[in-house]
């Protein structure tokens, strides 16, 4: 006899999608929200000379500013109201999550459930406004020193720039939350995803232009596209990789009946942190360098630091890889607590064969999780430094590999999983209604 779950999987097809009205509403809402985001990346800041800005961006496009422009969907290149994108929110999230490990108040809020999470989210929003204001002021000052980019310098320009950029970031933060609540989920990730995908045709056209002018040989271009396919397959494989721990449950007696012991698996993802480590690392690297790239008359030490932190430079690669590894372990420790998992297993009578329940189980889970996180962090670092090596050696666009492909593939997989879960829920509700109707007819 086919179970209800098996029947759901068998019936999961495109016809089910046509009947899922709630899911279609969520998809249309998500698409509409992303369209609004894309329109905002074309609304420029007031008081900017577009000709001078274009020249400045072209001079800095090959630097770390190009990475910032990628995450913002081209908004930096146009100096639009969404130029800061969602990066201040990500930076604020990093700071708040770091503080939860040292602040008793935040740690207590984290344990209070939904109400505590709401309060932590509120602190994150406040931090987003503060960081966005600081970055916006730095960009305003940097633009004033950009050689004629600002039509009329002064405090009025700085004030309007700060208000506009902070407002744009706060709006994107709100928009991401709405996509998560009323759309298909993963709002913040989808905003970054939309920016990368929107700039992808420009990168492909740039690569073709390099081939047409002879800057890149045709075999190299073909090899780049083949390598992109291999990297995508590698990312999919690693993101789906798991280490499953066998969990045994003892025999139980309920009344006069004896139930046989059951077994299941505790899945531990190879990359528990997902795309968060490279996004966090990129966000922190962008903070001190953004203004330095805009400013053309800074002190010598700032110029030297900017040169050392240029893409492909050894110092930049070392810091970038170190941050990715650190945040891979840090974020894994936040989202997965071996002590809580071991306690829950003990509460329901589950145990790992050969491991004593309780503290020993927590130590074993932590040991296994640490080993697989080493592999996961290495995979993230390898994928993310790949474009830096390519850009340094072949001067190819940033989009072939690295953080961009990692975000695109991971967010696509998560979004597909969200859509499938909505379809399963819709079909499950349909089966329940059918069973109720059949029962009513029999009566």
Would the pLDDT of 119 be above 90? no
The sign one gets for the Cα dihedral 135, 285, 193, 99 is negative
pLDDT for 402-412, tens place per residue? 677 888 888 88
pLDDT for 182-215, tens place per residue? 888 888 888 988 888 887 787 777 778 877 887 7
pLDDT of residue 430: 58
3-state secondary structure of 103: coil
**How high is the mean pLDDT of the chain?**
79
Please give the structure tokens belonging to residue 153: 């310098």
Please give the structure tokens belonging to residue 92: 């604020």
C-alpha 295/C-alpha 67 separation (Å) is 17
Q: Which domain holds residue 421?
A: 4-442
Return all residues near 89 (Cβ < 8 A) that are at least 6 apart.
Answer: 124, 128, 169, 172, 173, 176, 188
- Give the Cα-Cα-Cα angle 139, 75, 388 (nearest 5 degrees): 85
What's the pLDDT band for 169 if we cut at 50, 70, 90?
Answer: very high
Name the percent of the chain lying above pLDDT 90. 15
Q: How many structural domains are present in the chain?
A: 1
Return all residues near 338 (Cβ < 8 A) that are at least 6 apart.
Answer: 362, 363, 365, 366, 369
Would the pLDDT of 260 be above 70? no
C-alpha 408/C-alpha 411 separation (Å) is 5
CATH code, domain with 199: 1.10.3370.10
More confident residue, 431 or 221: 221
CA distances from 59 to 62, 76, 123, 296 (A): 8, 13, 38, 11
3-state secondary structure of 159: helix
3-state secondary structure of 320: helix
Q: What is the DSSP string of 110-129?
A: HHTTHHHHHHHHHHHHHHHH
pLDDT for 296-350, tens place per residue? 555 666 667 666 766 667 787 888 899 999 989 988 888 888 888 888 888 878 8
Q: Do 20 and 422 form a contact (C-beta atoms < 8 A)?
A: yes
Residue 436 has a CB neighbour count (10 Å cut-off) of: 10
Torsion of the alpha carbons at 315, 317, 318 and 319, rounded to the nearest 10: 80
The structure's pTM equals 0.77
- Strands 263-269 and 242-248 come out as antiparallel
């Amino acid at each position: 006899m086919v179970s209800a779950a098996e029947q759901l999987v068998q019936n999961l097809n495109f016809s089910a999608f046509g009947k899922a009205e709630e899911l279609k509403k969520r998809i249309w809402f998500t698409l509409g929200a992303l369209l609004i985001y894309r329109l905002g990346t074309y609304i420029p800041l007031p008081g900017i000379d577009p000709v001078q800005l274009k020249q400045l961006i072209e001079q800095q496009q090959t630097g770390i500013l190009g990475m910032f422009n990628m995450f913002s969907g081209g908004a930096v290149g146009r100096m639009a109201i969404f130029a800061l994108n969602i990066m201040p929110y990500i930076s604020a999230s990093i700071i708040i999550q770091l503080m939860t490990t040292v602040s008793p108040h935040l740690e207590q809020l984290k344990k209070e459930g939904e109400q505590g999470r709401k309060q932590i989210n509120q602190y994150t929003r406040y931090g987003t406004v503060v960081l966005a204001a600081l970055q916006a002021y730095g960009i305003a000052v940097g633009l004033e020193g950009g050689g004629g980019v600002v039509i009329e310098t002064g405090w009025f320009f700085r004030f309007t720039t700060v208000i506009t950029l902070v407002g744009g970031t706060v709006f994107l933060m709100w928009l991401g939350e709405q996509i998560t609540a009323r759309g298909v989920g993963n709002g913040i990730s989808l905003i970054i995803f939309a920016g990368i995908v929107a700039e992808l045709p420009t990168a492909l056209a740039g690569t073709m232009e390099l081939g047409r002018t002879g800057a890149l040989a045709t075999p190299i271009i073909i090899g780049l596209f083949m390598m992109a396919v291999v990297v995508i397959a590698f990312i999919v494989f690693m993101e789906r990789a798991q280490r499953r721990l066998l969990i045994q449950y003892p025999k139980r007696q309920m009344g006069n009946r004896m139930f046989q012991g059951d077994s299941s698996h505790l899945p531990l993802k190879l990359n528990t942190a997902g795309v968060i480590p490279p996004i966090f690392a990129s966000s922190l690297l962008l903070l001190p360098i953004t203004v330095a790239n805009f400013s053309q008359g800074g002190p010598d030490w700032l110029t030297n630091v900017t040169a050392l932190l240029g893409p492909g430079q050894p110092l930049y690669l070392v810091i970038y890889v170190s941050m990715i590894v650190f945040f891979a372990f840090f974020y894994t420790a936040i989202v997965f607590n071996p002590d809580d998992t071991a306690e829950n297993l003990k509460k329901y009578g589950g145990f790992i064969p050969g491991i004593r329940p309780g503290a020993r189980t927590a130590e074993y889970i932590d040991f296994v999780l640490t080993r697989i996180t080493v592999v996961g962090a290495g995979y993230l670092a390898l994928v993310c430094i790949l474009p830096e090596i390519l850009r340094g050696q072949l001067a190819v666009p940033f989009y072939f590999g690295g953080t961009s492909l990692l975000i695109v593939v991971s967010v696509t997989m998560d979004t597909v999983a969200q859509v499938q879960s909505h379809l399963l829920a819709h079909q499950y509700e349909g089966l329940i209604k059918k069973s109720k109707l059949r029962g009513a007819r029999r009566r």
